[in-house]
Amino acid sequence: MADMGSQTLIYVGRDDDLHTLLACFHSNKVSHVPVVDSNKLVGMVSKTDVTDFLLQSLEDSGEISLGNFCRQKKVKEVMIQPVIDAQVDDTTMTILEKMISHQISSVVLKDGPKLAGIVTDKDMLLYLTGKWEGQQPLNAKITDHIVAWLDKNGVFQITKALSDIGI
């Protein structure tokens, strides 16, 4: 899986504020970011995690402005633990099975203990449909079925879709 996932690894610290995290999402055009503490992977955070946290927290907090709120809150308050990871030499199916069984939209890639990248559900879809750079398309029947199900239901329905067509 070394050829799939992000080439440049972006990450944030657990004590960074949400304002910094949101700026990281925006400036790097990413939707998932690993969280590190002393160069050790300690969490994962996505735009969806932040949105859910902000909606709930702002509803509970009253009149505080969004900007001030994001400067006061830390990444560690919204990150997801434990982090589901995979090794760069794991197979596509191994990573896909982890995403499905844990119902997650990204997996952190490691090369031994070192962070190496991220594979997202979008990366997986591109790879499975043969649209990842340098990849050949899979069987058309499989590809069409996966794309149809993802359009309707998201990556977590892949197992059912594959099962329905006998894979």
Please check the confidence at residue 14 and state whether its pLDDT lies above 50: yes
Domain count, the chain: 1
pLDDT of residue 137: 47
> Which residues have C-beta within 8 Å of that of residue 23, sequence separation ≥ 6?
none
In a domain, 147, yes or no: no
pLDDT in tens, 79-98: 989 999 999 889 888 888 89
What is the spatial distance between Cα 155 and Cα 6, in angstroms, rounded to a whole number?
A: 18
pTM of the model: 0.66
Please check the confidence at residue 75 and state whether its pLDDT lies above 90: yes
- Helices (H) then strands (E): counts for the chain: 7, 6
Asked if residue 115 lies in contact with residue 41, where contact means CB atoms within 8 angstroms, the answer is yes
pLDDT in tens, 116-167: 888 888 888 877 777 666 554 444 444 555 555 555 555 555 555 555 555 4
In a domain, 5, yes or no: no
Please check the confidence at residue 36 and state whether its pLDDT lies above 60: yes
Asked if residue 88 lies in contact with residue 2, where contact means CB atoms within 8 angstroms, the answer is yes
List the CATH number of the domain containing 37: 3.10.580.10
Mean pLDDT, residues 2-13 taken together: 70
What is the spatial distance between Cα 104 and Cα 72, in angstroms, rounded to a whole number?
A: 27
Report the percent of the chain where pLDDT is more than 70.
Answer: 71
In a domain, 115, yes or no: yes
Boundaries of domain holding 88 = 12-136
Q: How far is CA 146 from the centre of its chain?
A: 19
The length of the chain is 167
What is the spatial distance between Cα 154 and Cα 81, in angstroms, rounded to a whole number?
A: 22
